[in-house]
Amino acid sequence: MELHATTILSVRRGNKVAMGGDGQVTLGTTVMKSDACKVRRLNEGRVLCGFAGGAADAFALLERFEEKMRDYPANVPRAATELAKDWRMDRALRRLEALLAVADGKHSLLISGTGDVIQPTDGVIGIGSGGHYAIAAARALLAHSDLSAAEIVRRSMEIAADIDIYTNRNIVVEELEAVS
Residues whose CB is less than 8 angstroms from the CB of residue 147 and which lie 6 or more positions away in sequence, other chains included: 13, 141, 155
CATH number of domain containing 150:
3.60.20.10
Binding site for Na(+): residue ranges?
161, 164, 167
Binding site: residue ranges?
161, 164, 167
Asked if the structure places residue 178 within a domain, the reply is no
Asked if the structure places residue 131 within a domain, the reply is yes
In the chain, how many domains are there? Answer: 1
Q: What is the pTM of this model?
A: 0.92
Asked if the structure places residue 176 within a domain, the reply is no
Q: Which pLDDT score is estimated for 116?
A: 86
Q: Which pLDDT score is estimated for 54?
A: 75
Asked if the structure places residue 55 within a domain, the reply is yes
Asked if the structure places residue 177 within a domain, the reply is no
28-76 pLDDT per residue, tens: 778 888 999 999 999 999 999 999 887 777 787 888 899 999 999 889 9
Phi-psi map region of 170: left, alpha, beta (phi>0 left; psi -120 to 50 alpha): beta
Q: Report the alpha-carbon distance of residue 155 to residue 118 in Å, rounded.
A: 24
Q: Which pLDDT score is estimated for 5?
A: 67
Regions of the chain short of the pLDDT cut 50: 1-3
Asked if the structure places residue 179 within a domain, the reply is no
Q: Which pLDDT score is estimated for 62?
A: 85
User: Which of 6, 7, 29, 121 is the catalytic position?
Assistant: 6
Q: Which pLDDT score is estimated for 2?
A: 43
Q: Which domain holds residue 7?
A: 3-171
Q: Which pLDDT score is estimated for 57?
A: 76
Phi-psi map region of 78: left, alpha, beta (phi>0 left; psi -120 to 50 alpha): alpha
Tell me, rounded to whole angstroms, the distance of Cα 138 from its chain centroid.
14
In one letter, which amino acid is 15? Answer: N
DSSP string, 13-67: ETTEEEEEE---EEETTEEEES----EEEETTTTEEEEEEE-HHHHHHHHHHHHH
Asked if the structure places residue 88 within a domain, the reply is yes
Contact of 2 with 15, CB cutoff 8 Å: no
Q: Report the alpha-carbon distance of residue 58 to residue 53 in Å, rounded.
A: 6
Is-catalytic flag, 81?
no
Q: Report the alpha-carbon distance of residue 108 to residue 123 in Å, rounded.
A: 6
Asked if the structure places residue 180 within a domain, the reply is no
Q: Report the alpha-carbon distance of residue 178 to residue 12 in Å, rounded.
A: 8
The CB-side HSE value for 102 (13 A sphere, CA atoms) comes to: 31
